[in-house]
Structure formats: C-alpha cells, structure tokens
Amino acid sequence: MYLNRYEEKIYNGEYGEILSKAIKIIVKIGESVGAKRLIKISHAHISGVGYNNIGEAGLSLLRDLASSGHRFSVFTTANPGSVDLDSHRYFPYSEDFLRKQLEILDHYKALGVETFTCAPYHIREPRYREHLSWAESNAVIIANSVYGARTNKESGLTALFSALIGRTYYGGLHLKRERYPRIEIFIKNINRDYVSIGLLGLYIGKISEDKIPVVKGLEKIEREKLKTFLAAFGTTSSQGMIYIPGVSREDYKESDYKRYIEDKIEIDSREIKIFYEEQENLCEDPEAFLIGCPHVSPDLILEIKSMLDKIGGEAKKPVWLIIPPDYEKDPFIKNLLDKLREKGIIVLKGICPVISPLNEIGYKCIGTISSKAFFYMPRLAKVKISLMDLPTIISKAF
Ligand code: F3S
C-alpha cells in the first residue's frame, strides 16, 4: 500500500509504538480488501464503551492508551456505556460495575471523545462525500444512506485506531464502485408505524445478507421512521448502506447500477407478520418502556410531547427516554424535556440500556418501539421484549 511521508513515519515508529501499531493494523485490513492507499477522515465514532461489552481486556487497553499520552487526532465521538451521565446510580448496578464503567468513560474522555451517543449524526451531521471511520451500525447506515458520507462498518477497535492516526483505508464503501446495489427490493402494503417499519428493516437486513439493497416504495417515508428502518436494517445486515431512490444522496442512476442487480424481491405485510411470529423472547406485560435506541432525535421528543399534551396524568411505570448528553444545551429542547419530566418520563443521558445487565437488577420484560432493542435486548440485557408503537406505549404507561 502506498503511504505518504507522514504516514510512513507513523508506520516506522517515529511517533511511538502505539501509533505505529494502529497504522499497521489499518494498513493490513486495507490490504485485505485491496485498498491502495489511506485516506484522511474528519470524524471517528467508536463503539465498545459498555463494561459489559469490553470487559477487563478492553478496560486495560484503554488504561494503557490513556496513560500513553496519545490523543485522538480528529473529532471523535463514542457509543454510550451503561450509566446515565447525570445520575450514575439510577440503575442500581453493583459498585464494582459502576466504578469500572465510569473508569472506561474517563479514559475515553482523556483520549478526546467529545460525547457518548449512538446518534452522532444528531451532534455533527456528516457532509456529503466526507470520509469517516464509524463503528455503530445504525450510525454507519445513516451516514452512508441518508447523508451520502462514506464510511465502512468499522469495529470499535478499527475506529479507535483511525481516531488515533486520523486515517482509514481507501476501500469498501469509500469507493463509488462499491456503493452500487446488488439486490432490488419492492415494498408493497406495509404499514408506516414504527413497529412495522422497524420489522421491515430487520427483515430486509436478514434477506439481503451481505449485499447492498435498493429499496423501492419508501420514497416518501418520514425522517423519524427512516431512522427506525435504517437502524433495524443495520442490526441484521453486515452491509453498511441501503440505496433508497429519492432519499439517498448518491450520484448514480438506475441505468448505472442495473447491470449489478443479482436478485429482485417483493415484500408485503404477510412476510413481516410471519417474521415477527418467528421471533422468540416476546413478552406481554412490560415493567418499563424504552424509547431511544438509537438515541432520540429532537423531532421524536416533539412527537412524544404533543401526544402527552392530549392526555392527563403521570406515567405509572418507568418510561425511559434516552437522549444524547448535549441536547439540553439547547434551551428549546431542554424546555421540551422538562415538560416530559413533569409527566413522569425518565430522561436518561448518554446511556445504552440494551447492553446493560438489566436482568441482574430484576427486570424481565421491557416494552419498546425500537426494533434494534427488540433484537438485542434478549441477547445482551437478558430480558424479554414487547415491541409496540408509540401510542401503545403511552396508553400502557399512563
Ligand atoms: Fe444505541 Fe444501545 Fe441502541 S448503543 S442504538 S441504545 S443498542
């Protein structure tokens, strides 16, 4: 692989062993996909922040990195961990767990992480064609499929190494020729509520396997539902993007990608119903409700606020609304959130309940609008799930 003089110096250890190892790993991965050179990135997004996820090995790596004096060389954000940033003890995890989780956050902050959220695009919108190194599947799919930015679906570690050296390999989805769809999917008669749209995303992710799909029939989808759909797709697909005509910012036309299409599939509501019925770990009587996987947008906060304006009373069960940590710097959003708090909604900042050991503190059944949480919570938080639309959550919780 071609390296410029600066990159060569990093490679040869002139800036220390850590950066040398970081660039060698990025080069090696790049060479395995045929990349001929590296490319500068403007934003890295790291996953692997929960203690439950990275354990002692990850914590010890972060300790070494933070004490080495090296810092991230580009704007860097990271996924959330398992604790609310304002009130660490909201979930009564053990003191040992809490201490280790907070230590992980401290090391990331020392290295230069700006904020902890799985919706980095709500904090800094990616620009068209800019190169990123993002882990976190929903963020990758949204960056590529909505903003037309370019990032592969990185692992937490490769995004971290790229954050250190400010570069990634110029291959995969960074190249136009790798962004053409290979499978054509036609959507017929699918409801546009959060549950149906999320299940559709999970289903398309599953059947497209490693191919980029072009999805037709979603042209007029609202922004918030689009986010739900893409996050769900990223959960079951190994791909980093979907092409949605009229939505995605790609500079190609149907005539450019037509010859690459290997398969055409039509999906209607019957397939989605069967797919849902095949799922395990369903439950019916949630003890708490989760909204914000991925972290909510200001639009969704507004939607919830207008629904609650029409009903009286306070929440009788916990409703967790998960936000990126910095939202309340905006007085308009803070005001909205305060109104929701008055209704009993529990606003949690910079946290991922999905990777957190909720079963260890007594939860068994969680209601959510998120198909991503629906997929992962039984596996990671070891709880059962009830997938429900927003009006159902409001009616059951209030
Ligand atoms: Fe975010 Fe955790 Fe869901 S990182 S996307 S809340 S699984």
Arithmetic mean of pLDDT, 391-395: 95
**CA dihedral sign of residues 11, 109, 324, 201:** positive
Q: Is the CB of 352 under 6 A from ligand 1?
A: yes
Percent of the chain with pLDDT over 70: 100
Given the structure tokens 């979930």, which residue do they identify? 91
- Of ligand 1's listed atoms, the one at least distance from the Cα of 370 is 3
Say yes or no to pLDDT of 219 above 90: no
Q: Ligand 1 center to residue 49 CA distance, Å?
A: 11
| Residue 230 near ligand 1, beta carbon < 6 Å | no
CA distance 237 to 102: 31
Any ligand 1 atom below 6 A from CB of 138: yes
Token code pair at residue 21: 């190892």
In short, whether 228's Cβ falls inside 6 Å of ligand 1 is: no
Q: What are the distances in angstroms from CA 394 to CA 224, 291, 309, 312, 391?
A: 18, 11, 11, 11, 5
113-142 burial, b at 16+ Cβ within 10 Å, e below that, comes to bbbbbbbbbbbeebeeebbbbbbbbbbbbb
Predicted confidence (pLDDT) at residue 344 exceeds the cutoff of 90? yes
Q: Atom 5 of ligand 1 has which residue's CA nearest to it?
A: 294
The model's confidence at residue 246, banded by pLDDT at 50, 70 and 90, is: very high
Question: Ligand 1: which atom is nearest the Cα of residue 137?
Answer: 5
Round the average pLDDT of the chain to a whole number and report it: 96
H helix intervals, 146-290:
156-165, 194-208, 223-236, 254-257, 269-278
- For ligand 1, is residue 347 a contact (CB within 6 Å)? no
Q: State how far the Cα of 366 lies from the Cα of 382, in Å rounded to an integer.
A: 10
Q: What single letter denotes the amino acid at residue 306? A: S
Cβ(397) – ligand 1 distance below 6 Å? no
Please check whether residue 304 is in contact with residue 291, taking contact to mean a CB–CB distance below 8 angstroms: yes
Condensed to tens digits (0 to 9), the pLDDT of residues 188-198 reads: 999 999 999 99
Distance CA 377, CA 383 (A): 6
CA of 163 to the centre of ligand 1 (A): 21
Residue 263 alpha carbon to ligand 1 centre in Å: 31
From 47, 91, 230, 295, mutation site for ligand 1 pocket: most ligand atoms within 8 A of C-beta = 295
Q: Give the pLDDT band of residue 54 (cuts 50, 70, 90).
A: very high
- Per-residue confidence band for 171, with pLDDT thresholds at 50, 70 and 90: very high
Q: If you measure from the C-alpha of residue 312 to the centroid of ligand 1, how many angstroms do you get, rounded to a whole number?
A: 30
- pLDDT (tens digit per residue) in 137-162: 999 999 999 999 999 999 999 999 99
To test the ligand 1 pocket, which listed residue (46, 118, 383) has its Cβ within 8 A of the most ligand atoms?
118
Backbone Cα Rg of the chain: 21
User: Which domains does the chain carry?
Assistant: 5-176 (3.30.499), 180-277 (no CATH), 288-397 (3.30.499.10)
Q: What is the pLDDT of residues 100-143, one digit of tens each?
A: 999 999 999 999 999 999 999 999 999 999 999 999 999 999 99
Question: Of 10-14, 60-64, 277-281, where does mean pLDDT reach its minimum?
Answer: 277-281
Mean pLDDT of 28-56: 97
So what's the pLDDT on residue 2? 98
Which amino acid, 331? P
Q: What's the whole-number mean pLDDT along residues 80-108?
A: 94
For the CA of 138, the closest atom of ligand 1 is 5
Tell me the mean pLDDT in the region 37-58.
97
pLDDT at 88: 86
Cα of first residue to Cα of last residue in the chain, in angstroms, is 60
Q: Is residue 270 within 8 Å of 192, Cβ to Cβ?
A: no
Is ligand 1 within 6 A of the CB of residue 118? yes
**pLDDT tens, position by position, 346-363:** 999 999 999 889 999 999
| Ligand 1 pocket mutation pick from 121, 355, 356, 375 by most atoms within 8 angstroms of CB | 355
Task: Provide the 3-class DSSP secondary structure of residue 22.
Answer: helix
In short, whether 153's Cβ falls inside 6 Å of ligand 1 is no
